[in-house]
Chains A and B, each alone.
Chain A
Amino acid sequence: EVQLVESGGGLVQPGGTLRLSCAASGFTFSSYWMNWVRQAPGKGPVWVSVINGDGSTASYADSVKGRFTISRDNAKNTLYLQMNSLRAEDTAVYYCARDHASDIWGQGTMVTVSS
């Protein structure tokens, strides 16, 4: 079964850091571009970042550029999102999603930035 499972969310103070993980199974992970998408409470999804199959190319939304870093470990079938200098407006459920057209999504992990 094709599956994505996120972890690493939690409560963090403004200015803090957090690292999210997304464990993939049921498909050849290294063959796919992977995305992070976030959804603030009561709002629609917003694309955050993408990385290509071998990890050599990444792109970011302007709102997180310079603060977030996407990476992957194909040997572990795992996608990461390193989040630094967190702000209240980063509060959201963070999803990983497969491929350019986001055909598979995980269940999400909640990140709350608050003092």
Chain B
Amino acid sequence: DVVMTQSPLSLPVTLGQPASISCRSSQSLVYSDGNIYLNWFQQRPGQSPRRLIYKVSNRDSGVPDRFSGSGSGTDFTLKISRVEAEDVGVYYCMQNTHWPRTFGQGTKVEIK
């Protein structure tokens, strides 16, 4: 199975400051069609996961533009340009290039 490793696991951030989460995969996530199927999810306390980013850098509808994704191959990053109170929660990366689909262990974002 492809192992997804996130860092840090805990991220205290000051309101209005940037935040960055890393996700590394144990194998390349480049699919045979040339696409990279790497997604980012946000899970607010008591809620279901919500997809924010798909195929590395594409924002889902309704996702604020302060969220951005980047990366290639095995190394990916989710950035929040200016953290707001509503961004508190756990963030997960997930790959759907290989079977079985696998998630990172999660990064908990909290306000300092």
Contact A44 B104 (CB under 8 A): yes
Instruction: Specify which chain B residues have a CB less than 8 angstroms from the CB of A105 in the assembled complex.
Output: 48-51
- With both beta carbons as reference points, the residue of chain B lying nearest to A62 in the complex is identified as B100
- Report the Cα distance A45→B41, complex, angstroms: 10
In chain B, residues 66-112, which have Cβ atoms closer than 8 Å to a Cβ of chain A?
90, 92, 94, 96, 99-106
8 sample A-B contacts, Cβ–Cβ < 8 Å, listed by A number: A44-B90, A44-B103, A45-B103, A47-B102, A47-B103, A61-B100, A103-B54, A103-B60
- CB of A85 within 8 Å of the partner chain: no
Instruction: Specify which chain B residues have a CB less than 8 angstroms from the CB of A95 in the assembled complex.
Output: 48-49
Interface of chain A, main secondary structure = loop
- CB of A75 within 8 Å of the partner chain: no
Q: Which residues of B contact A (CB under 8 A)?
A: 37, 39, 41, 48-51, 54-55, 60, 90, 92, 94, 96, 99-106
Interface of chain B, main secondary structure = loop
Scan A80-111; emit 1 where CB is below 8 A from any B CB, else 0: 00000000000000010000111111111000
Instruction: Specify which chain B residues have a CB less than 8 angstroms from the CB of A46 in the assembled complex.
Output: 103
- CB of A59 within 8 Å of the partner chain: yes
CB distance from A45 to the nearest CB of B (A): 5
Contact A101 B51 (CB under 8 A): yes
